[in-house]
Amino acid sequence: MRKAGLVGVMVGGLCLWGPLQAQAETFGASASVAYWQATHSGTVKNGADNVSIDNDLGFHDSSFAVMSFSFQHPVPFLPDFKFQYYKMDQVANGSIPLNKTYDGFNGDVHTNLDLSNYDLTLYYQLLDNWVHLDLGLTGKVFSGHINVRQANGTQQSNTSINTAVPMLYAAARFDLPATGLSVGAEGNGIAYSGKHLYDASAYVNYRLVVFNLQAGYRQMAMKVDDIDGIGVDVKLHGPYVQVGVAF
């Protein structure tokens, strides 16, 4: 789906929810950066065989940076906005066994896997007191690649991963009165015809004046048969810590 068309679908769909919105009374904004320690599992396929990203390609634990920005406003019917960026470029060394091939070759390999992506979310605040509930639509845009090269340099496979996916968005948060603490969860997801893509997290947050300190657990999973020529069935999950400001 083209990016412009994706944004148009998001805006049109969310306008239908306008009358239900419990709109924020003032302007607000927040920004944060997170450190995510993720464990890999799953497979990729370029040809007939499923190649394990952990056992064969050598990806195990990786650390990623996640940056986000949100903006709320009091204008009726218009959705609030959130932007999130995942920097997920990583390298590993592994060995594809002789009974498998990736794009026609196997053996010792060096792999650069880049699943970097960003989210554009339009949402409404349906509840905004000690219980917060947001619903909306997200466009997740992947801009990365998977490059697999034999260790001896004789063969290699280079595939760009550039695609946009529309997803549903939901977030809930519960404030614990007079403590500065809150607990919450949020996620984006879509599933169709045996395929799925989701990105979800649960957390504990502590707010001190305008500063937020957060710790939680995040999981991202993708299962698609053909994304720019390759099959992907991958899951990344693990704890994260986050610091940010909110006004």
Task: Give per-residue pLDDT as tens, 67-77.
Answer: 999 999 988 88
| Distance of alpha carbon 133 from alpha carbon 127, whole angstroms | 5
pTM to 2 decimals? Answer: 0.86
| Distance of alpha carbon 88 from alpha carbon 25, whole angstroms | 36
| Distance of alpha carbon 235 from alpha carbon 140, whole angstroms | 16
Give the residue-averaged pLDDT of 169-197: 95
Task: Give per-residue pLDDT as tens, 185-237.
Answer: 999 999 988 899 999 999 999 999 999 999 999 999 999 987 777 999 999 99
| Distance of alpha carbon 147 from alpha carbon 57, whole angstroms | 11
Least confident range of 20-29, 79-88, 110-119, 236-245: 20-29
Give the rounded percent of residues in the chain with a pLDDT score beyond 70.
Answer: 90
CB proximity list for 8: less than 8 A, separation 6 or greater: none
Taken in order of first residue, the domains within the chain and their CATH numbers are 3-246 (2.40.128)
Q: Are 162 and 1 in contact, with CB atoms under 8 Å apart?
A: no
